[in-house]
Amino acid sequence: MNRTIVSLATVGLLVGCGVPKSQLDAKAMEAENLRRQYGDESEKAKSLEEKVAKLSAELEAAQKERSKSDEALAASEARTRELQKKVEELSALNESLAQSKDKLEKARAELEKKSEQYESLAKSLKDEINAGKIELSELKGRMVVKMKDKILFSSGSVKINPEGQAALAKVAEALKDVPGKLVRVEGHTDDDPTDPKGPFPSNWELSTTRALAVVKLLQDKGVPADKLSAVGYGQFHPIASNRTAQGKSQNRRIEIVLAPEDQAPGTKTKAASR
């Protein structure tokens, strides 16, 4: 509006100065065109400013999103590294457990492995084992022939009865051919006390005397005397509870233990003297 007034004032001034009308019209037209161009440029500039502002806002939002994405990516990578570490730790633990399991399996197999001597002895005593007169076990090379005392002895007696003699004869026959082993006879009782005024004042005497009776019979049946020994444990090594009749029956037993010859008394002394 101001520019139009200026332009008209200029035209009036020019008319007053005697400038031709055609020239004045041309100048007015030029002035009008300049005014329109200025308006158009102003609109364009305003539009460009709005676009720049919009683009700046979009760029700022994009940068914020990028920042969030970078943070999320960094967090994701950190989580991935953490999970990878846990996977590696679990893999190592799994491998360790597998090795431990393998060792345990080998150890179990070794424990359960029966020696040729065991198999031979079990074959020789098959009938007695099947009849329940004898139990045979082996652990780490230590064989045990277990016999209940009722098969060997009458209640309170130390004399081996006929059924027990027959069973021990079969045991002696099998033991004669087992090389490199000592034969230790162990007597065990339940916790019922003996008569202090009787021939066996305590279970020590009773269990030891019964073990000696078995040793003598095995010797008579051909087991070398230098491999034999007897020991009485009384009621102090039970394998079942003494609170029941069944448990007491299991605790009253004779165990014939086959141990390595290097465990013989004086073995180390003899070796050292050489």
Measured CA to CA, the distance from residue 96 to residue 218 in angstroms comes to: 50
What percent of the chain clears pLDDT 70, i.e. is strictly above it?
A: 85
pLDDT of residue 10: 55
Q: What SS3 state is found at 30?
A: helix
Kindly state the DSSP code that residue 194 receives in the 8-state scheme: P
Measured CA to CA, the distance from residue 257 to residue 267 in angstroms comes to: 18
Which helix H or strand E contains 218, and what residues bound it? helix 203-220
Measured CA to CA, the distance from residue 235 to residue 243 in angstroms comes to: 13
pLDDT of residue 270: 46
- On whether the CB atoms of residues 172 and 147 are closer than 8 A, the answer is no
Count the alpha carbons within 13 Å of 177 in the hemisphere toward its beta carbon: 13
Q: Apex CA 83: angle with CA 79 and CA 89, to 5°?
A: 145
Task: Please list the pLDDT of the chain residue by residue as tens digits (274 residues).
Answer: 444 444 545 555 555 556 677 777 787 787 778 878 877 777 878 888 888 888 888 888 888 888 877 888 888 888 888 888 888 888 888 888 888 888 887 766 665 567 788 888 889 889 989 988 899 998 777 789 999 878 899 888 899 999 999 999 999 998 987 888 899 999 999 999 999 999 999 999 999 999 999 999 999 999 999 999 999 999 999 999 999 999 999 999 999 999 887 766 665 544 444 4
Measured CA to CA, the distance from residue 188 to residue 190 in angstroms comes to: 7
- On whether the CB atoms of residues 271 and 262 are closer than 8 A, the answer is no
Q: Looking at 17-161, list the stretches that DSSP marks H as alpha helix, in order from N- to C-terminal side.
A: 21-112, 116-124, 126-130, 149-152
Residue 160, strand partner residues: 153
Phi, psi at residue 144, to the nearest 5°? -130, 125
Q: What SS3 state is found at 153?
A: strand
Measured CA to CA, the distance from residue 257 to residue 144 in angstroms comes to: 5
pTM: 0.58
The H helix count followed by the E strand count for the chain is 9, 5
